[in-house]
Structure 1
Amino acid sequence: MDTPLHLSNIIAHVISGTIALIIGFLILFKTKGTLLHIKLGYLFVYCMIVVVTTGAFGVIVFKRNLFLLLITILAAYNTYSGFRILKEKSNRFYVKDLLAMLGALAIALVFIYYLKFIGFYWNPMVIYSGVGYLLLVVSYDVFRYCIPASQYGNLWRYEHSSKMISAMGALLSAFIGTILPDYKPYSQILPSLLMILIMIFFNVKIYIRLKKQDVRLSE
């Protein structure tokens, strides 16, 4: 039987996750760089902090739905890294960013080892795709330190967009997977694929906008 503390944790997790998704989609379709965009962005990050905290609490303390651990890692790292790159707008090295990468990787690897030890009880495609995507993001974050600062330029814009949309993808995957459990793994994978397409769309928009700016400046 669920305790009042566990129920409170679930309610906080669901409410903050739902609000984060609503805010995230509002941000996507609002003009970027405005005061409203900035305020909504901070609110999204605050909601994600609650989502990640309650998700980790549910897994570690209440031993519920271990799959939430993977979703929590994906959402947490993408939100942290996406917010950090917006603040820095550069590929300058910081120890705390390296610690965040190592922490995310360590938890993901322990997660995989534990699942193999007890036997997979989720579709391996869902597990490996989630962990693989996390490895891809972290690998890029390591590689970008090799990019000369003079050539880094506007890459931070693409990083910020991709990582924040990825955080939304993790939320949407968890949300749809929870309300449509009979359709797994598709109810978990398809929302992620949708968000990847949205990510590509907005990165193309960023590219076109920057090209137009370059043309105007050269005239």
Structure 2
Amino acid sequence: MEGGDGGRQFLDSDGGSDDETFESFHEHNYSVEDDMPLQHCNFVNDGLISMEPSTGMSFQSLDDARDFYYEYAKRTGFTIRTNRIRHSLKNMAIIGRDFVCSREGFRAAKHTLRKDRVLPPRPITREGCKAMIRLAARDEGRWIVTKFIREHNHKLMAHCKFPGELPIINILSEVEKDKKIQDLYDELQRERERSAAFQQQLCMILKDLEEHAEYISE
């Protein structure tokens, strides 16, 4: 589901994300306990647009969970961005993701203290806000809310103060992102195999040269 009116102006793409890798979903610290009461949700049919996030919420896909938090942020008065992504070491599939308030964290000093800066720095928007939602994948393909922080440390924006007509940003769905990651992982494996083959051929050539040199010197 694509969120809302004329593009995701409430989804802040600035700041990137932190990637982590784990052997399995159960490895990371915020895994879902088996006895956690789950609330299975359908973003469209269950009328989730008017609901607040809560731990134990279960979504059919990561896209549904992202759209739900996007709509909640838009209704509440803040923008969001992806902060942390967790990958499986086995196949690099995404098994965990955090969506945070766009004012989470602080701008890195390397960006504010650059000596080669030509233009003045952008206004500081990071204020260390802790508001966020953490999602984790389950074996059956659903995504579970394992952590939700409601409180913001800054004033929320009124809906009328949001930009009205921002250009539509081409944001890939989570499935598309996952596929791109898998394609890159497969390409990396192929390059490693080719590199190993070249190294083996080089060793054989060097060995032949060494034997030939010994033969000539006799």
TM-score of the superposition, structure 2-length normalised? Answer: 0.28
Q: Greater helix percent: which structure?
A: 1
Task: Decide which structure has the larger Cα Rg and report it.
Answer: 2
TM-score of the superposition, structure 1-length normalised? Answer: 0.28
